Amino acid sequence: MKYIASILLLVILILVSGCNNPNTATLNGGSSNNVAVSSGDSNDNDTAALNKKSILVGTWQDGSNVGESMGQRYHFFQDGSFIFDYSLYDEAKTTLSESGKWILNDNKLTLEVMKKVTVVGGEKGKPSSKASSDYAIINGKIKIITLAPPQKVEYATTAFSIDNEKSIGWYTFSIEGTQYWKSNSDPNVDWNPQYRDGDIYKGIDIAAADEKIIMIGAWQDGPAVGATYGQRYHFYGDGSYLYETANYDSENRTISESGTWNIANDTLTLIVNSKVTIEGGEKVKNELPADPSTYSIVNGKVKVTKISPLEKKEYALADFSFDKETGLDGYYTFKIEGEQYWRLSDDPDAYHNDFVVKDGDVWNPGESAN
């Protein structure tokens, strides 16, 4: 009995010693897909063993700051597929993206490349101020290549770690010597524009992005926002729109119009179903400093008119591009019937008039209607 008791005591001591060892932890029976991830300190924030495949799912970039997210990016999906976006700063590149399947085992990442988006032809042009390349390829044709058989590549990887110095605690590891940081656990963020076969490529510009998606947002006939707004289009994802005239155009009796929109064959079609206008009132000499109008209409009545039959307008669209010289991060821009507009926000509810106009309200420029 003493012999058996001694054995039991020894087993208990071994178990207690293992539980108290902060450097010992196992998940899923110690599978080879587990990896120790440490920020360097033994505290509650340390994760002793995480599944490598679960960590890999998300968006990874070759820079530790959000502002560098237009560099090279891997998008690893839970279903085992991936997309690799080449840097938008490299405007001389002839391959825009690659996609296929991924497998991560131990310290090796295996990619099966099934499709590539490339640029064929074109000419060398002047790069943008944000480009890392000496020139830009412009007016090339987008070509989507399906690889048969798929191209298999293998990359050496390092262990995952948590970077609390260069980033805000992002996971990081290297792929074939290039360091990547996990900027988002969602692989559906920070895309390149979605290119289509046959589209024209214009360097870092909008190129083949779906114009209908780019249209959604608030557009103004000037790239800057001051004390007042210029003419604005608000295009919504449900196909509706609102057009607002410039705040500083005090002689204009039209305040806004609304309806539905569509684009096809470089033509913007608007179906107008409602207008907000000013009736009556009087003209007085304009004293608003930000308003170039000679006169202002004051004390007029606001009238909301439902248009029947509906009014159809068609405008030629041209020169979709990305204005890299304007704004903090650049704005998409295009021309509507020859007049230039810039997308100030991808939120169509941004940059509205700061007052609500209702049927019967008294119109006095510079004052808010109740």
pLDDT tens-digit series, residues 212-257: 667 888 999 888 776 678 889 999 878 899 999 887 777 778 889 9
Indicate the average pLDDT of the chain: 76
- Phi, psi (degrees; rounded to nearest 5) at 19: -70, -30
The Cα–Cα gap between 139 and 208 comes to 11
Mark out the alpha helices in the chain (DSSP H runs).
2-19, 52-56, 211-215
Q: What is the mean pLDDT of residues 85-93?
A: 87
Angle value at C-alpha 49, between 47 and 54, nearest 5 degrees: 95
The Cα–Cα gap between 210 and 226 comes to 30
pLDDT of residue 177: 95
Residue 369 pLDDT > 60: no
What's the pTM value of the predicted model, to 2 decimals? 0.48
Q: For residues 118 and 94, is the Cβ–Cβ distance under 8 A?
A: yes
The closest of 199, 203, 206 to 91, measured between CA atoms, is 203
pLDDT tens-digit series, residues 126-144: 877 677 889 888 888 888 9
Provide the b/e sequence for 221-250 (b: ≥16 CB within 10 Å): ebbeeeeebbbbbbbbeeeebbbbbbbbbb
Centroid of chain to Cα 331: 12
Rounded to a whole number, what is the distance in angstroms from the first to the last CA of the chain? 93
* Residue 178: strand pairing partners: 175
Q: What is the mean pLDDT of residues 52-79?
A: 83
Handedness of CA 226, 218, 220, 351 (dihedral sign): negative
DSSP state of 191: P
Name the residue with higher pLDDT: 113 or 49.
113
